Structure 1
């Protein structure tokens, strides 16, 4: 793990901008997180300061930065610009040195090389957060292809060749690759790094699915509030699969959206209006009578 007390590292964390942001990973000072807004940024502390200052150009303005912080950073920025214009030697002397961001990237690369070769410790739980990785992907803007991406192209193709056989052996629909949850899974695995074990047969069919059920129930709370306040519509839809089984789905629609409630195998009876009412009536009574009723 990276030692925060290492003098060679702390010397590059002296910029006043670090008081208002922190690195996403101590081994990569080029990625920072805003302390006020939680925005993930590339470009080191310089890009973070532009974010706090609301400086037009490379970074979106932070709407939650305190006024005194913004004024302080603008003052330091103008003082640096004045020193540069008054003292021509200032630029000449700095031309022979790396910028702070370049030094951060260099140190991060060297530290990463000194790490324990893929082994993980307790602090990795805080340094590599799958949720943060997903949010990072959402908030990042499209970047132009650079040298690193060109070098990684062959590696990406190699990884995709492991994903494709799984897709074909499982007989999955090609449309599933467009699902947001699939990309979220890729991001979470990438954030974890090497040595991730796949979930066991028991985990995938019992505790993990139970957690998803609980998560789905929480999502439905807003729907149920809308039902009681503004009413809702009960809807049914029949569909025949390849085995000629008739499946009848029941859904509830409201201002919050449409929600699936349950399905019934209707292969063994005639679908008349009376029979549908017989199936819908218990659902209507359970949900409450303050709703619109629609077949």
Structure 2
């Protein structure tokens, strides 16, 4: 009945029982097939023939998805028993050759789960390669700590796509907001400098940063994507005034930008709107 309501959800009306609900295809499936645990009431008027038709449709869609899925490439074989300069050849051949050469005990390999560890390393490496992740992510302490924590929790499953972009993201945002409150409470006493500068990110998008700075610390307010907008003095001053209103003009002492002519002109507009701000 409507477009996206929140996330991937839409407004839906069942043609059979005329019941309205919000959800995605999973709730529609649960409604027709009378499945529990999906947060939607089962359709009381659906017939067995309609359910069979629905099941056939789902099986057909699942088969199409399976046919379109990329072919799963096996991980590289374990290299635990070879030197760094060894050539690539099947695991069984390499194991037998290197065991004869080095005399590595298979019991030792099994006890320390060397092959399992290296297969896990290969899985992590492929995550980097297939997603185009920068290698310096491996230096992030949160990356390292997450694997250390996960290894200590039996049966742990990493968060999925929806959980990362909804619940966990909201929790992190609210947590950061709480952490910043002690700094924000000092704004009225010490005053705030609103600092702004333009730059271009890796995707060549023109961004304008807004940062609040005071004696107790600096806070990144937001980064504004100005792609497709003409950044004249009126547009830049509008963005500055919006940020000033978010902070409260009574708390702002000065605005700091570079000395580009458009910024100077925008600064004059800000000073005329708020005479106490330099």
Indicate the TM-score class for this superposition, using the shorter chain for normalisation: 0.3 to 0.5
Q: Determine which structure has the larger helix proportion and give its number.
A: 1
Q: Please report the TM-score for the alignment, with normalisation by the length of structure 2.
A: 0.46
